Structure 1
Amino acid sequence: MLLYRPLEEKDFAAVCALPRTPDELFHMFPRASYPFTPAQLAESLEQRSDPTVIEMQGEVVGYANFVRCDFRGRCTLGNVIISADSRSKGVGRYLIGCMAEIAFDKHEARELTASCFNHNVTGLLFYSRIGLRPFAIEERRDKQGQAVALIHLRLERPES
């Protein structure tokens, strides 16, 4: 059984433990330094909205927020991550579904967008499976200064 709810301070340590490697943290939060800390999470929340956790059997197994959310405009997902042990079990689909519901119902957004780095093939295939489609590519730099492609994807608001 999955449950979504707003992030609480008591969840910070669990969320910070979700990225197990520097690469996972880069995919989740490119500007953060590994290991991810509650202080970094708290600081990021000053510029984010709707921080949301997914619980399975009382344990935090997923997290996301909006890096940008314009009422009746666009909501952009940020810091999306699922625990390694919970991947391929429907948790990601549930998390994105919950975030889409928040975007389309609470914020009356016209579209939900996400961004994913080109080397995160698992993430790109996941977003494609749940209906997000690429619409732009932006050049970025990874932690080693190498060029990477940040692929922007969108899901339009369903017709009522």
Structure 2
Amino acid sequence: MKLHNRPVASADIPALCCFPHGPDELFYMFPKATYPLTPAQLNDAIAQRSGSTVVEADGVLVGFANFYKAEHGGICALGNVVVAPAARGKGVARYLVQSMIALARDQFAAREVWVSCFNHNTAGLLLYPQLGFVPFAIEERRAPDGSRVALVQMKQSWNE
């Protein structure tokens, strides 16, 4: 599977809205959204964020992410990270996160990239440390059903 990334296009939005399967997956991707994800919700998030990027495999959309915070020369905080269900477990998330780190460094001259991951998101909790992210805080949040969840904050820093 040959992967490449590019900026999101308006024509991508309907397909991206199908990536989160169920309220839990949407909560991991976009905690403020309500299930099912609609083009209006996703367009609103994209309009308020920076660096919205998609990953394609052989012309098919397989991943999406952006920065909810992008300080030139400072911190870029990764958000809305999601991989198409059929593409999971095939290296798409790794490629997507590495692409976003490169974007943070190249476009924003970032010194750190932050990512947040809910405690039930096992795939994310296992992936991010493999890519050099280190936990630095845990915050209590509420899941859509009102239950307590832990949001693990991680960062990757570099000195140049």
Give TM class, smaller chain: over 0.9
Give 1:50 deviation, angstroms.
0.7
Q: For residues 122 and 7 of structure 1, what CA distance do their matches in structure 2 show?
A: 24
- Which residue does 1:121 correspond to in 2? 122
- Which residue does 1:8 correspond to in 2? 9
Q: Which moved more, 1:82-91 or 1:28-37?
A: 82-91
- Which residue does 1:53 correspond to in 2? 54
Q: For residues 138 and 65 of structure 2, what CA distance do their matches in structure 1 show?
A: 22
The alignment partner of 1:97 has SS state of: helix
TM-score (norm 1): 0.96
Instruction: Render the CA deviation track for 1:52-91: whole Å, top value 9, x for unaligned.
Output: 0000011110000000010000000000011121112111
The answer to whether the aligner puts 1:29 opposite 2:19 as a matched pair is no
Give 1:14 deviation, angstroms.
1.0
Q: For residues 49 and 119 of structure 1, what CA distance do their matches in structure 2 show?
A: 26
The 5-angstrom pairing of residues 1-160 of structure 1 reads: 1-157=2-158, 159-160=159-160
Instruction: Render the CA deviation track for 1:9-67: whole Å, top value 9, x for unaligned.
Output: 00001110110111110100011011101010111122111100000011110000000
The alignment partner of 1:17 has SS state of: coil
Give 1:131 deviation, angstroms.
1.5
Structure 2 alignment gaps of length 5 or more: none
Give 1:153 deviation, angstroms.
0.5
- What root-mean-square deviation, in Å, do the aligned CA atoms of Structure 1 and Structure 2 show? 1.0
AA aligned opposite 2:51: D
Give 1:3 deviation, angstroms.
1.0
TM-score (norm 2): 0.96
Give 1:107 deviation, angstroms.
0.5
AA aligned opposite 1:123: G
The alignment partner of 1:44 has SS state of: helix
The alignment partner of 2:48 has SS state of: coil
The alignment partner of 1:88 has SS state of: coil
Aligned pairs, how many? 159
Structure 1 alignment gaps of length 5 or more: none
Q: For residues 34 and 56 of structure 1, what CA distance do their matches in structure 2 show?
A: 26
Give 1:5 deviation, angstroms.
0.3
Q: Which runs of 4+ in 1 moved over 4 A?
A: none
